[in-house]
């Protein structure tokens, strides 16, 4: 009789909700420490117009700030606000020493130039990490404010792979300024070998097959399936796509979760994976902004 030992493959579903909760709890205790020393962390959230999705995002941000003990201030403006009026408002928030973080909810109405607005935010208050000084700082591997979603993705990767990501081959699908590009820079800072693929890349599937880590951030429902993946890859799905099935709308990621699951060592679900990390890291960034503005505490 021979004994055959089969390697157990038990893919891990990364619980973004639970990990986001531990990030929020870390932030909460840091907030208490700062408050006890006389600095009350404060985040200003600016919303222009009535975009329903943006209103939901802003409400969630304000609620999470309250949970961790960060004071939040909401500045709401009509959709016809001029760019100059918005820039003046940002100048006021920059000058106010009691405000540590400034977030301007995107998208902005079309009469307002987004780049001009984001560049006006003081880099040390730029909790989105979108200011060119922070983008440049990240690309040089300096300790600056970095975009919330990709920073949250690094935390999810470390939860599965441990703190040392060095030498792993990471493929990032998508090259947006909000996710793809900063994700690549953060992975490079972790000493990964990084490949970015995008709409003009031939053979995306074959490139992904080389990857220890796949980060999908393209906005194409179920694009990545098992045939894209090397055995035991770790997959982070940043996509949030609304699709119709059986006359109902459903949220799915850029990864075909059911198909990919047997192939991977770990994968994020949608919803409940990357999503909750974005707000958690906005809170963490607000605290990082406090640190940058009060280095002596």
Residues within the interface to ligand GUN (CB under 6 A): 103-106, 128, 148, 178
- Residue placing its CB nearer to ligand GUN in the complex, 33 or 116: 116
Among residues 64, 89, 105, 189, the one annotated as catalytic is 105
Annotated active-site residue 164? The verdict is: no
CB neighbour list of residue 257: distance below 8 Å, 6 or more residues apart: 237, 267, 269, 270
C-beta of 148: minimal distance to ligand GUN in Å? Answer: 6
C-beta of 246: minimal distance to ligand GUN in Å? Answer: 29
- Residue placing its CB nearer to ligand GUN in the complex, 138 or 260: 138
Residue nearest to ligand GUN (CB): 106
- Residue placing its CB nearer to ligand GUN in the complex, 104 or 223: 104
Among residues 30, 126, 128, 212, the one annotated as catalytic is 128
- Residue placing its CB nearer to ligand GUN in the complex, 171 or 178: 178
Annotated active-site residue 128? The verdict is: yes
Displacement of CA 79 from its chain's centroid (Å): 26
Annotated active-site residue 37? The verdict is: no
C-beta of 178: minimal distance to ligand GUN in Å? Answer: 6
C-beta of 53: minimal distance to ligand GUN in Å? Answer: 8
**Would you please indicate which residues are annotated as catalytic (active-site) residues?**
61, 105, 128
């Amino acid at each position: 009789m021979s004994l055959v030992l089969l390697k157990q493959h038990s893919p891990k579903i990364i619980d973004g909700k639970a990990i986001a909760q531990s990030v929020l709890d870390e932030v909460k205790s840091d907030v208490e420490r700062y408050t006890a020393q006389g600095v009350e962390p404060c985040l200003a959230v600016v919303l222009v117009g009535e975009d329903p999705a943006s209103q939901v995002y802003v409400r969630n941000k304000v609620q999470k700030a309250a949970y961790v003990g960060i004071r939040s201030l909401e500045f709401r403006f009509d959709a016809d606000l001029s760019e100059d009026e918005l820039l003046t408002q940002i100048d006021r928030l920059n000058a106010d020493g009691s405000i540590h973080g400034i977030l301007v909810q995107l998208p902005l109405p079309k009469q307002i130039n987004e780049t001009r607005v984001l560049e006006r935010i003081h880099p040390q208050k730029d909790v989105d990490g979108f200011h060119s000084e922070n983008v440049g700082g990240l690309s040089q591997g300096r300790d600056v404010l970095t975009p919330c979603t990709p920073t949250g993705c690094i935390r999810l990767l470390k939860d599965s792979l441990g703190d040392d990501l060095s030498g792993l081959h990471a493929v990032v699908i998508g090259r947006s300024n909000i996710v793809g590009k900063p994700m690549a820079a953060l992975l490079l800072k972790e000493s990964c070998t990084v490949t970015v693929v995008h709409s003009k890349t031939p053979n995306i599937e074959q490139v992904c097959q080389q990857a220890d880590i796949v980060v999908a951030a393209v906005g194409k429902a179920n694009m990545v399936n098992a045939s894209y993946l090397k055995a035991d890859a770790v997959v982070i799905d940043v996509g949030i796509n609304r699709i119709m099935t059986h006359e109902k709308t459903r949220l799915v990621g850029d990864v075909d979760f059911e198909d990919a699951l047997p192939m991977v060592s770990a994968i994020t679900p949608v919803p409940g994976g990357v999503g909750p990390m974005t707000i958690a890291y906005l809170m963490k960034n607000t605290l990082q902004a406090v640190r940058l503005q009060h280095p002596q505490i």
